[in-house]
Chains A and B, each alone.
Chain A
Amino acid sequence: MFEQWIQWLPGLLSGLQTSLAVTGLSLLLGLPLGLLFAFGMISRTRILRQTTILIVELGRGIPLLVVLYVVYFGLPDGGIVLESFAAAVVAIAFNTGAYTSEIFRAGLLSVPRGHIEAAQSLGLNWTDEARYIVLPQALRAIVPPLMSYSVIVFQATSLGYAIALPELLNSAYQIGSVTFEFLSVFILAGLIYAALSIVVSRFVDAIHSKTSH
């Protein structure tokens, strides 16, 4: 079995590369989106607030797989044709934005009201207030859950299988359909997913218990 595994590893690792690329790009686009949504959700402008909440609820209420189908199979009807890689990034980034907005929002709200009033009474404008006072403090509450969330994003890239994205799970499936050793190759792929997820989660826990002291 191990000989087979060694034989398959290069194929799976190239799939893993795609998974990681989608993870990275989705976070790169999705996290700023999440921050934007968070600002929208706590905005004083009612229309802005309600629109954002609606978008976020859509992003959280609709299964990511269906969002992926919308982007990959649906958008071409609107004249937007995306390859599976781009479609996966767009769908997962949107999903990430919707889910992390709650993390950002909680982080922003964790900054005591008094600090914001102090910043205002000192005459700081709102960008300075955000940059020097609110975000640095909020970051402490935000970073650990965001790191945990990146594990979820990594796992979510496996949905790319459904739109023929050559990521890790799909690579395993391709190998299986040639060798008919589905179980064995899926176990190997699963171990790769689990190993990465567990390592990152443990790392986050370690940081978390360090900073909370």
Chain B
Amino acid sequence: MIDNQQNRTQGAAGTTDAQKAPQLQLKDIHKEFNGNTVLSDISLDVNAGEVVAFIGPSGAGKSTLLRCVNYLETPSSGDLLIDGKPTVKIASKPTRNELMNLRRQVGMVFQSFNLFPHISVLRNVALPQERVLGRSRKEAEERAMELLTRVGLGDKADARPSKCSGGQQQRIAIARALALDPEIMLFDEPTSALDPELGGEVLAVMQELAATGMTMLVVTHEMSFARRVSDRTVFMADGRIVEQGAPEQVFGAPREARTKKFLEAVLER
């Protein structure tokens, strides 16, 4: 229901054009906070249309890695490429223009929704389009309405975000990010703040988005979502990628002892 035509063709069959560089490349991303290493030289390629789920214990660095992808955190070193082109010349010193360009291509959804409380739902979705893409107010609000309807919230357009349930707020946040036509979407535990039923609404929207061929990086504690929806599951611990592969493999036959231990602990609950 959420279309993303240009990605769909390459997405489902990302192998048709083998020479083409992966859509997103992380090369030796290293991150320290005051001397504490939080990410040690992480490398990862993500193809267009791929859905990558990140799982792992608390403090593994999943959020930090995701936030490095749109430079909410500045990596200490390493390279970030989109469509084979470096996004930032000097990793630790992004320029304003580089940041703008990068963030135009990458959308993000947060655990705590972060809708702007002082403007209506419709304005939340329309305002960034006007300011970032230069769309007219009319154009932006039409697009906003279209997306809100698609996530099932057309009737909430004039409400304040605080009048919406958590699940609704998160769907609005997804619509807000999609309104800027990003090529890659980042989700940091989008359902952790929600009870299972409301989380389900959000997961449904994400699943549909994945089906349209959107490239998605999802940090999640929802093992069933990772298992069902992701094309690849990445298990992280202590700032490293311990293991990655098709979800059937990672969940069904984990190779690393650390992964086994984590999955046992999580699935037992």
Contacts and interface: CB of A to CB of B under 8 A. Distances in A.
B127 A132 contact: yes
Given A123-B128, A128-B131, A132-B127, A117 B100 contact: no
Given A112-B114, A115-B116, A122-B177, 12 more contacts: A114-B114, A115-B117, A117-B72, A117-B114, A118-B115, A118-B116, A118-B173, A121-B70, A121-B110, A128-B131, A132-B127, A137-B118
A120 B99 CA distance: 9
12 contacts: A115-B114, A115-B116, A115-B117, A117-B110, A117-B114, A122-B103, A122-B176, A123-B128, A123-B132, A125-B131, A136-B118, A136-B119
A133 B128 CA distance: 10
Interface of B: 70, 72, 96, 99-100, 103-104, 106-108, 110, 112, 114-119, 127-128, 131-132, 173, 176-177, 180
A121 B72 contact: yes
Nearest to B111: A114
B153 to A, nearest CB: 18
A121 B103 contact: yes
Contact of A124 (B114, B117, B118, B128): B128
B100 A121 contact: no
A114 B70 CA distance: 14
Nearest to B127: A132
Nearest to B101: A123
A137 B114 CA distance: 13
A55 to B, nearest CB: 27
Interface string A114-155: 110111111111001000110011001000000000000000
Contacts of A133: 116
A140 B118 CA distance: 10
Given A114-B112, A125-B96, A132-B131, A120 B117 contact: no
A21 B3 CA distance: 61
Interface string A155-167: 0000000000000
Interface string A60-73: 00000000000000
A119 B118 CA distance: 14
Nearest to B176: A122
A120 B118 CA distance: 17
Contacts of B107: 121-122
A114 B106 CA distance: 17
Contacts of B180: 122-123
